Chain A
């Protein structure tokens, strides 16, 4: 299956960089400069994983997690933040983000692993749904 990732960060260079990184790894990547724009894109396009900044003008990343959890329960959210506080991290966890990765992302491996875990989880669900529909589970 083709995997869609949405990158949300008001810093365009970070969007570009992460997009480049995940496109190189073979994912389809979209970018949004705000949480509002992210929700707009998601209303038209299914996303497996959203990687979002917390501190952004307008809607905060933590509010985006809540919105996604309600509207798109299957989409996994990974937060990235340069504003590392215990409060931020706890809010992310309470609102159902997969994890919170701290900038400056000296090593992208942590982010890659979070995406991998999210996709594993999605595959397991998918297998279960197929099984329940009486079809043969596509083992990928």
Chain B
């Protein structure tokens, strides 16, 4: 929107009589008059940020002359244009040309006709209005350009990210498969060794009786080998869990909705986050066993929960304290609500609005991409659900995911 220009006019005239006539003429025409008695005062007023946009300057006056003021105006560091009408008793054609060349917008030769003066002022106001319109149009354009640029950057980043995620998916599937084979023979050999152990143990015990001199080493073997076998077993289980995690990450691109138990989703998410949560976070769950199924892509819902759990853990870590995360579910008018809350620092009021925007992050560069919650929102909305965030009155943040319950009619159509 362009701004409506005001009706203020600066009059710079040293001659009292001329000044009064001019003031009266303009006042009658409803203009507000700002008066300067000489060139210096006029210049002082023009320099101010909120000076009138239109100035009638006498050519000959003490201090700066009108012509000087007009010249100085060219170098005034302001993007605001002051429309100047030079008032002169000079009638030489050469003088007028000099005035206009110096930068005057218009001129009036004394004695002037009042109607002509007002008509020329109207011309000035039209031009000022045009300038205003152009400035606001340019500003609007600039804003559009900035918005478009931002949008394009966001889109590009999203595409790069999506591409990266897809590559990462393939990579994880490949890695899972590659790890699986060596894991199979490590795990199998451990079991073979474990099966052989009783035989080895027996003969070691015999040896111990026969040759007590070697008792220290034999004793060591009898003591340590079962622990070694167990240790390898624990390692295998842990690697297997990682491989399972990689596999489910790799599978998440295909959206397959099935009636699923929210209980399973939460438990799987907790397993995936176990490592992140084990040091400073206590997890409290309140999930009724008899919750009805939801029709979801389990992997995707797990991904959302993992994201919320990681954010909660980060929030707790930022406070450098031991904290707790509570996960609960409840039924609410045909929907299931999954609530993840933490007792970290909570969400500052000013960030709540942009929380789900892509690339929104409060975390350090190496910690978050700012995409997590926007992906979560995407997934939940894809499932016809909603996700929102709020602060707990007791401190910390609360995220609430709402998902529709599985119904048989839905199951038949999907």
Residues 16-39 of chain A, each 1 if its beta carbon lies under 8 Å from chain B, else 0: 111011001100000000000000
A-B pairs with beta carbons under 8 A, tally: 55
Residues 84-110 of chain A, each 1 if its beta carbon lies under 8 Å from chain B, else 0: 100000000000000000011111100
Q: A13-B182, A24-B192, A24-B196 are in contact. Are A105 and B187 (CB under 8 A)?
A: yes
Interface size class of B (residues with CB under 8 A): 10 to 19
CB contacts (< 8 Å) of A104 on chain B: these are 180, 183-184, 187, 236, 240, 243
Q: How far is the CA of A80 from the CA of B183 in the complex (A)?
A: 14
A106 touches B196 (CB 8 A): no
Q: Given B177, B182, B236, which contacts A106 in the complex, CB threshold below 8 Å?
A: B236
> Using a Cβ–Cβ cut-off of 8 Å, how many residues does chain A contribute to the interface with B?
20
In B172-208, which residues have CB < 8 Å from any A CB? 177, 180-185, 187-189, 191-192, 195-196
Q: Is B362 an interface residue (CB 8 A)?
A: no
Q: How far is the CA of A107 from the CA of B236 in the complex (A)?
A: 10
CB contacts (< 8 Å) of B247 on chain A: these are 84
The chain A residue with its CB closest to the CB of B195 is: A24
Residues 222-261 of chain B, each 1 if its beta carbon lies under 8 Å from chain A, else 0: 0000000000000011001001000100000000000000
The chain B residue with its CB closest to the CB of A24 is: B195
Main secondary structure of the interface of B (DSSP, over half): helix
Contacts beyond the supplied A82-B184, A103-B183, A106-B187: 6 A-B pairs with Cβ under 8 Å: A11-B185, A14-B185, A17-B185, A25-B195, A82-B177, A104-B236
Main secondary structure of the interface of A (DSSP, over half): loop
Mark B residues whose CB is within 8 Å of A.
177, 180-185, 187-189, 191-192, 195-196, 236-237, 240, 243, 247
B177 touches A105 (CB 8 A): no
B181 touches A11 (CB 8 A): yes
Closest Cβ–Cβ distance, residue A91 to chain B (whole Å): 18
A106 touches B237 (CB 8 A): yes
CB contacts (< 8 Å) of A14 on chain B: these are 181, 184-185, 188
Q: Given A20, A83, A107, which contacts B192 in the complex, CB threshold below 8 Å?
A: A20
CB contacts (< 8 Å) of B188 on chain A: these are 14, 17-18, 21, 105, 108
A82 touches B237 (CB 8 A): no
Interface centre among B181, B189, B240 (most CB of A within 10 A): B181
Q: Given B192, B237, B240, B243, which contacts A17 in the complex, CB threshold below 8 Å?
A: B192
